[in-house]
Structure 1
């Protein structure tokens, strides 16, 4: 069952995550003029219509591993009150979905919902539209680029360096920490008895106003209370008035238990 929800303004709660990254200064390569696609899926373990969308996202992940396609699964929290609390959910992710409703002039939000490059939305399990949207974005030339790298890092803080060639007035830098694979056995709710598998699960999401700066660094404070480890960092530039995403990049970070232990 797809949940359609009237627009609300939920509290922006900080999602929880535990992560350790190497202090690797490897920089992402400068983008070419080819296009890119940032796919955001709003989903929930409490929604019976969401597993097909989650499975489709897993297919897309396998097929686009060598392409500039950036996949993010945001687990919303408004299904939690209906019998099953999704351990990956956050009110902050629901708030982001509501922000898209404002940007895209929607009267409701729903699951599963997909948004591509912040500019188009549709039912997240619609394979034809999703594939066409990704292919369209990849074929669209883009001269903007975003380069990112990690500075000195410990288990509590990530120093993320960024550099872009585009003007950044009216733009924010969005940073997502992602767990690439996980699964849960659902004991209650619409998916009771099912073991659900997920990919590209957003565990923490932060935004930073750039105020015209085209290079610099931001400090991502990592919440340790979850116990999960993220293995990927995705960052992108987004217009704060329209929601349009103009450049994106990612780091496949390495886990470093020794760093985590030294930081205690």
Structure 2
């Protein structure tokens, strides 16, 4: 009788162990969003080709970017310029992105900024290589309720700029952040902490613009880079509270491709 009890106990423990393992293996998966859900996740990664800690975070973001196609997850990677002093000037870097990161330090009451840093929906920040934390933050964002709307339409390319129309039911005085995003690129780094490495990037912010909302319908333009191609760029916009940094809505659109 004792032998049977011991056998049953071991069998139960083995099943429980397999269940725990299954949970560990699937806990990193982002669940599909039901049609009724209106949540979203804006993922902002602050990174640099001059920082040896950044490639793992870039890889995590690239992995997730492949998984969330068709979902309301908006990934933007900003290459800051303060690591350029280490010997390698990041071709994607801009002081505008460093300033944006410092704005988050003020909004989130942080004593300093760092790379790689991820901020989700303007409210949650953590080290960008923490894959589980990022997935959980995205999942929480997709479950949130949305009280305002934002949409983009009628993108037109005029020489070296693009004109975009937006529609929102946000109150007058709100802020729209408009970002031009290059979908992917690879750089061979020849100096600095990542010397000799070939670094792959996704969702690279190449220009950013802040727009004050004065009406439900509006139009604005954004400058395009010399290497612009309709296939490899997109526009991402989001409504952000200029006092708290909280992001309340987001949208994206591609560019018309000439046949």
TM-score between the two structures when normalised by the length of structure 2 = 0.81
Deviations 1:171-207 (A, max 9, x none): 2111111110100011111111110000000011111
Query: How far, CA to CA, are the matches of 1:111 and 1:74 in structure 2?
Result: 10
In our comparison, the structure showing a higher alpha carbon Rg is 2
Q: List gaps (5 residues or longer) in structure 2.
A: 1-34
The correspondence for 1:180, drawn from 167, 170, 183, is 183
* Alignment partner of 1:193 out of 177, 191, 196: 196
Deviation at 1:120, TM superposition (A): 1.1
Q: How does 1:118-157 map to 2 (within 5 A)?
A: 118-157=122-161
Q: Give the SS at the match of 1:89.
A: coil
For residues 116 and 44 of structure 2, what CA distance do their matches in structure 1 show? 10
**Distance change in 2, residues 1:168/1:246 (3 Å):** farther
Contact 2:177 2:211 in 1 (8 A): yes
User: Contact 1:101–1:109 at 8 Å: present in 2 too?
Assistant: yes
CA contact (8 A) 2:62 2:201 kept: yes
Who is 1:227 aligned against?
A: 227
Instruction: Report if the CA contact (8 A) 2:44-2:77 is conserved.
Output: yes
Higher relative contact order (CA 8 A, sep 6+): 1
- Give the RMSD, CA atoms, in angstroms: 1.7
Structure having the higher helix fraction is 2
- Within the candidate set 246, 249, 252, 1:250 is matched to 252
Count of aligned residue pairs for this structure pair: 223
1:47-62 alignment runs, 5 A limit = 47-62=51-66
Moved over 4 A (4+): none
**Alignment-derived partner of residue 81 in structure 2:** 77
CA pair 32-218 structure 1, distance change in 2 beyond 3 A: farther
CA distance in 2, matches of 1:189, 1:251: 36
Partner Cα separation in structure 2 for residue 215 and residue 196 of structure 1: 40
Give SS of 1:99's match.
helix
Change over 3 Å in CA distance of 1:195–1:207 after alignment to 2: same
Deviation of 1:158 after TM superposition, in Å, equals 2.0
> Does the alignment pair 1:102 with 2:106?
yes
Following superposition of structure 1 onto structure 2, how do residues 38-53 of structure 1 map, counting pairs within 5 Å? Answer: 38-53=42-57
Please say if residues 162 and 224 of structure 2, whose CA atoms lie closer than 8 Å, have aligned partners that are also in contact: no
